[in-house]
């Protein structure tokens, strides 16, 4: 039986509240042999207190050795198997700029490019035009593109990148990129998967989009055409309410994480700008929801920057927010990350992520008194797949009945 079907069967109504605090890219590495990781270096008295009272372990985002992007990383934390639910690039890009993607939608990444008079590509990124130019060109496309039988939405992203969303009936997403991948050749026609009429329909629409775009952008320079990549349908994914019977809210500053939360049916709250703002929203909305996903970005971005000291600071900032969250008396508080982002690697990594579960009424404590990578190895949760965290949270919140007699 599939775990989510089992949870649907076993879940029980309760008035308990669960907080999932995601410190993006939390896990790290020492920068010198024998040294400490970012989390081990940070002074975190509040997280250490939670680790002492609760139980810890490590979360494996997807599978051993697999480094996830933000999409699979968060799907795992939300209890969905990231290997079963693939979020296409177009969808992720759309979510990242706040474009909703629903079951009737196909989302696509667009690149402005430069072609010569014979249509051959001379620059696949149109000289990396600034975002302001991108915005202006998108507005021009919006004003003139008109395709029958489909609702077309275009949104700028950054530099030469934009997003297109087609909304309509029976649209498929299995279409090859039109970016030829090199210069000196013609752009490609959108080619649907063989024997897939839905994707053939989208391909025809995309082809018409490109034909019109070529005319509209003809006089522009250097961005006088566009390519389309990462065609993707909305993934067929059950909502949080459907699987868990929870009424969830997301408090995330960055659009991408709001988008991922929306994908599983979370209510999106206006998060403000700082972690303090986010905790303020949590307090203000405490009585309106029974699950809160609170996303803290900067443990990842400092790691991506390779800034060990700044990542330590950001972890300490997170630690300072803990007492106010605990003061709300959640029944279950989880602190973890969607993946590791060691500042030594300046990138996401596959290393298991420190995981903390605090649940005063139901947790079985272990001997661990500090929240750090090596301490977590001694914890009661062991090393578990990220997708197991939600079932455990549901159990600790008294929201799962007994399986069988």
Report CA-CA distances (Å) from 322 to 187, 310, 392. Answer: 52, 19, 21
Of the pair 53, 208, the CB lying nearest a second copy is at 53
Q: Give the DSSP letter of residue 75.
A: H
Of the pair 39, 121, the CB lying nearest a second copy is at 39
Of the pair 84, 139, the CB lying nearest a second copy is at 84
Asked if 134 contacts 156 with a C-beta cutoff of 8 angstroms, the reply is yes
Q: Classify residue 248 as left (phi > 0), alpha (psi -120 to 50) or beta.
A: beta
Of the pair 65, 197, the CB lying nearest a second copy is at 65
Asked if 72 contacts 260 with a C-beta cutoff of 8 angstroms, the reply is no
Of the pair 82, 224, the CB lying nearest a second copy is at 82
Tokens of residue 398, six digits: 């008294």
CB of 66 to a second copy, least distance (A): 5
Q: Give the DSSP letter of residue 370.
A: S
Of the pair 69, 306, the CB lying nearest a second copy is at 69
CB of 144 to a second copy, least distance (A): 30
Give me the helices (H) in 217-263, please.
Answer: 240-244, 255-263
Tokens of residue 284, six digits: 């203000």
CB of 68 to a second copy, least distance (A): 5
Of the pair 66, 185, the CB lying nearest a second copy is at 66
CB of 51 to a second copy, least distance (A): 14
Of the pair 268, 385, the CB lying nearest a second copy is at 385
CB of 303 to a second copy, least distance (A): 14
CB of 199 to a second copy, least distance (A): 20
Of the pair 23, 400, the CB lying nearest a second copy is at 400
Instruction: Work out the end-to-end distance of the chain between its first and last CA atoms, rounded to an integer number of angstroms.
Output: 17
Asked if 250 contacts 295 with a C-beta cutoff of 8 angstroms, the reply is yes
Helix (H, G, I), strand (E, B) or coil at 266: coil
DSSP letter for each residue of 145-161: ---TTSEEEEEEEETTE
CB of 141 to a second copy, least distance (A): 24
CB of 325 to a second copy, least distance (A): 19
Binding site for a second copy (CB under 8 A): 1, 3, 6, 10, 29-30, 33-34, 37, 53, 58, 62-73, 82-84, 86-87, 89, 92, 342, 345, 347-351, 362, 364-367, 373-374, 377-380, 382-384, 388, 390-396, 400-405
Q: Tell the residue number behind the tokens 């498929």, with chain if given.
A: 172
Q: Residue 52 is inside which H or E element, if any? A: helix 45-53
Phi, psi of 92 (to 5 degrees): -65, -40
Q: Which residues contact 314 (CB under 8 A, 6 or more apart)?
A: 296, 298, 299, 302
Asked if 395 contacts 79 with a C-beta cutoff of 8 angstroms, the reply is no
CB of 201 to a second copy, least distance (A): 26
Q: Classify residue 265 as left (phi > 0), alpha (psi -120 to 50) or beta.
A: left
């Amino acid at each position: 039986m599939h775990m989510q079907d089992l949870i649907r069967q076993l879940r029980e109504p309760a008035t308990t509240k669960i907080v999932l605090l995601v410190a993006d890219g939390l896990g790290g590495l020492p920068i010198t042999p024998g040294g400490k990781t970012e989390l081990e270096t940070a002074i975190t008295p509040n997280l250490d207190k939670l680790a002492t009272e609760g139980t810890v372990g490590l979360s494996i985002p997807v599978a051993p050795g697999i480094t996830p992007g933000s999409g699979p990383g968060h799907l795992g934390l939300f209890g969905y198997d990231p290997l079963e639910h693939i979020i296409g690039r177009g969808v992720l890009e759309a979510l990242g700029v706040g474009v909703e993607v629903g079951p009737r939608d196909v989302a696509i990444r667009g690149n402005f490019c430069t072609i010569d008079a014979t249509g051959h590509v001379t620059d696949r990124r149109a000289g990396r035009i600034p975002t302001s130019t991108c915005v202006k060109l998108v507005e021009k496309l919006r004003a003139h593109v008109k395709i029958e039988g489909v609702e077309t939405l275009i949104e700028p992203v950054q530099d030469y990148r934009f997003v297109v969303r087609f909304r309509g009936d029976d649209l498929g997403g299995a279409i090859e990129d039109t970016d030829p991948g090199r210069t000196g050749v013609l752009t490609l026609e959108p080619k649907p998967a063989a024997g897939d009429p839905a994707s053939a329909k989208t391909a025809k629409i995309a082809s018409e989009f490109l034909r019109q775009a070529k005319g509209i952008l003809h006089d522009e320079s250097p961005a006088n055409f566009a390519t389309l990549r990462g065609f993707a349908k909305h993934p067929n994914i059950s909502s949080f309410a459907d699987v868990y019977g929870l009424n969830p809210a997301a408090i995330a500053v960055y659009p991408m994480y709001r988008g991922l939360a929306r994908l599983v049916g979370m209510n999106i709250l206006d998060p403000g700008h700082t972690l303090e703002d986010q905790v303020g929203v949590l307090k203000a909305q405490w009585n309106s929801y029974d699950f809160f996903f609170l996303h803290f970005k900067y443990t990842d971005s400092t790691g991506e920057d390779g800034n060990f000291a700044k990542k330590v600071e950001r972890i300490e900032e997170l630690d300072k927010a803990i007492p106010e969250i605990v003061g709300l008396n959640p029944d279950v508080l989880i602190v973890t990350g969607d993946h590791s982002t060691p500042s030594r690697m300046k990138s996401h990594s596959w290393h298991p992520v420190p995981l903390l579960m605090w649940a005063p009424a139901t947790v079985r404590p272990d001997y661990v008194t500090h929240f750090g990578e090596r301490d977590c190895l001694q914890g009661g949760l062991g090393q578990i797949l990220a997708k197991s965290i939600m079932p455990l949270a549901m159990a600790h919140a008294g929201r799962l009945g007994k399986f069988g007699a």
